[in-house]
Amino acid sequence: MKRFNIFAGNYGSGKTEISLNTALALAERGNTTLVDMDVVNPYFRSAESETLLADHGIRLIAPPYANTNVDVPVLSAEVMAAFESETAVFDAGGDPVGAAALGGLLAQFNTHRNETMLYYVVNARRPLQQTAPEIIEMMEQISGRIRLQVDGLINNTNLGRETTTADLAYGQEICEEVSRQTGVPVLYIAGKPEILAGFRPQGGNIPEIPLTIYTFPDWLVDDIHEK
């Protein structure tokens, strides 16, 4: 990971989970900021983990309408402070409209382009992410709105609690096809540690992002507690 890490992807890709896990890992090395740029989608947002982040000394910057159902793409000037951090993570919107907010930071990203990575997260078990053409079309739309080229793919293929290594392997095949067609490399494989361990013999030397799951809808939290 670099100093400034942007995670984009369609809804259900798991970009927010990866953003949280990355911010927590980077915080062990120094001052870290997490910027929740998802100004449209009110669900599964980094801003919902404010207490967790604060407990680890991570500064959270979120739009004024974070944690509401108000779909108003307004960004705070506070976002600029992220570029003064030792490291920062940007959780992008989950569609071209949501991702457009990041385009407003193009000058800052260009100034630090050598220190910036734009990752596109893929969950090939979710709609609009199940084939290479679908992924490429959405990736190009989101990249166009952010106005940065995607630097690398992250295979985060999963079915939640039903995930198997076969799901991750399937996603890897799709991501490699996207890479062949676009030239964008597959830089990471993400997943729960037990899934990564089962996949590892097939995965080669691609670095892993072990995930602890922090974002749950209320109904799933209740279901977990009951069990």
Every domain of the chain and the residues it spans: 4-226
Contact between 119 and 150 (Cβ < 8 Å):
yes
CATH of domain 4-226: 3.40.50.300
Position 98 confidence tier, pLDDT thresholds 50, 70, 90: confident
pLDDT tens by residue, 123-156:
999 998 999 999 999 999 999 999 999 999 999 9
Tokens standing for 196?
């990564």
11 or 221: which leads in pLDDT? 11
